[in-house]
Amino acid sequence: MKNIALRIRYDGAAYHGWQKQKNLPTVQETLENALTRVCGHPVKVTGCGRTDAGVHAERYCVNFQSDCRVPLERLPLAVNTLLPVNIVVQDACPAPEEFCAIRSCIQKEYTYRILNTRIRDPFLAGRVCFYPAPLDLERMRAAGEAFVGTHDFAAVRSVGTETKTTVRTVKWCDTALEDGLITIRVCADGFLYNMARAIVGTMVYAAHGKISPEEIPALLEKGDRRLTGPTMPPQGLAMTRLWYPGEVGEMMKR
């Protein structure tokens, strides 16, 4: 059996997240069904992480074991003929035997987009969080920078997924504004459940003066989810970049 890695992309609006669930449409189940038909045997894929209902992925990595005879360069086209329009396989490559899409990932980047205008844009519906109230961009930027570094991020995660530790390292949390669209990029060596959306919610609270950016280190020390900002809606969030060693890493850059 070969270990095969895929780079995929999906709009998560129609799905109840990445992970397979009983009687609910998910990205994982939809992809596995298509791969099973192409490969001629049951396929189980391992994804690079869980995305919640309504969250998107501009870049996402999976791996699976198969003796599929379809050449790797033709596999994306073959699978895409069986996938709905909101999921696409962009590339495929061989992976080392020990490669695992989630355990082998070095770091990930999520991007959250807020349309901060008085009037909503129908062409961005489902892809951004529409937020018409004015936001102080400089306070947001300062709040985002306060999350950078190695911290216990229990204060910005939702209960629901057990982990050995809630300590993570945030490499950057950058904020930019263009034509009313606020773009927040958060990169870390790993993310807790709803961590990215809670970080952005805390930044929004800071923009309204409900939390001071200087308070954030102390709030992280306390580890109390009730003291930080809300979990923002899923529509504005997308997984945007992934880092891996070797050939898989090169594929994810393309």
Q: Tell me the per-residue pLDDT of 197-236, one tens digit each, with 9 for 90 and over.
A: 999 999 999 999 999 999 999 999 999 999 999 999 999 9
Domain boundaries 2-104, corresponding CATH code? 3.30.70.580
52-68 residues labelled b (16+ CB within 10 A) or e (exposed):
bbbbbbebbbbbbbbeb
Contact partners, residue 32, CB within 8 Å, separation at least 6: 20, 43, 44, 45
- Domains 2-104 and 107-240 fall in the same CATH topology: yes
User: Full-prediction pTM beyond 0.85?
Assistant: yes
Contact (CB, 8 A) for 231 and 197: yes
Tell me whether residue 174 is one of the annotated catalytic residues. no
Angstrom CA distances, 153 to 45, 59, 186, 202, 223, stand at 29, 24, 13, 12, 7
Contact (CB, 8 A) for 2 and 66: yes
Hey, which residues does 129 pair with through a beta bridge?
A: 114
Domain boundary assignment for the chain: 2-104, 107-240
pLDDT of 211 reads 97
Mean pLDDT of the chain: 97
Instruction: From the candidates 11, 52, 152, 174, give the one annotated as an active-site residue.
Output: 52
Please determine, for residue 160, whether its predicted confidence score (pLDDT) is greater than 80: no
The highest-level CATH class for domain 107-240 is alpha beta
pLDDT, one tens digit per residue, over 66-115 is 999 999 999 999 999 999 999 999 999 999 999 999 999 999 999 999 99
Q: What CA–CA distance (Å, rounded) separates 4 from 72?
A: 8
**Per-residue DSSP letter, 21:** B
Residue 159's pLDDT band (cuts 50, 70, 90): confident
3-state secondary structure of 173: strand
